[in-house]
Amino acid sequence: MTYTIEHLLGRVWTKKDGSTDQSMVNHCLKSNVYLDMGEFYLSIGSKPSITKDLYFSDIDYSTGKHAPAPENTFKLFKSYNMRMNSNQRYIETLEDNNQDVIFNTQYNSGAVSQLKSWTNKRLFEINPDDHKATPEQKQTIIDALKVEDEKYAIRLERYYKRYGKKVSNHTYWANR
């Protein structure tokens, strides 16, 4: 029997009286990215946040002297956020092919084993519900992460157009 992602999340997030906590279900759907993998839904991660306060080193390493904060530009804003918040590091790690991808149950509820997350490192023992991803499933995760990065780049453009004047650049030791 196949359930929708909303139904499965509703089984995890319940109120004391046993009814579904719809606000938590909506929060999970809004802040996470889920893939339908056929037998289960896979959470590939949360949607990245946007950082508007950018911090930089106050030392110019070529001269060794103190440097002011860089000028506020979209290029700097985008590169900072993509470096700090995007999925690029996960994509590079997965494309290396040196590590396996393990699917594990996302929540500690045995009743909802169709909600899974993934990891590329085995820090704990493997549970009975955990299993190794096939190369096709691994490629599906990589493709989904790339799509999310493209969406994130578009979000950054829209954010900067609307709130660019609120973006600020600081050096670490600006208050000396």
Render pLDDT for 74-92 as a digit per residue (tens, 0 to 9): 999 999 999 888 888 888 8
pLDDT band at 173 (very low <50, low <70, confident <90, very high): low
Least confident of 101-105, 106-110, 116-120, 167-171: 106-110
The predicted structure's pLDDT at residue 133: 85
Residue 174 has pLDDT above 50, yes or no: no
- Average pLDDT, integer, range 93-108: 78
Give burial (CB, 10 Å; 0-12/13-18/19+) of 167.
Answer: buried
pLDDT band at 168 (very low <50, low <70, confident <90, very high): confident
Q: How far apart are CA 48 and CA 85, in angstroms?
A: 6
Whole-angstrom CA distances from 15 to 19, 21, 68, 106 are 5, 6, 52, 19
Least confident of 51-65, 68-82, 99-113, 154-168: 99-113
> Angle at Cα 167 formed by Cα 162 and Cα 172, nearest 5°?
170
pLDDT tens profile 6-46 = 888 888 888 899 898 999 999 988 999 899 888 888 888 88
The predicted structure's pLDDT at residue 103: 82
Residue 52 has pLDDT above 70, yes or no: yes
- Work out the end-to-end distance of the chain between its first and last CA atoms, rounded to an integer number of angstroms: 63
pLDDT band at 163 (very low <50, low <70, confident <90, very high): very high
Task: Confirm if 140 and 112 have CB atoms less than 8 A apart.
Answer: no
pLDDT tens profile 127-156 = 666 778 888 998 999 999 999 999 999 999
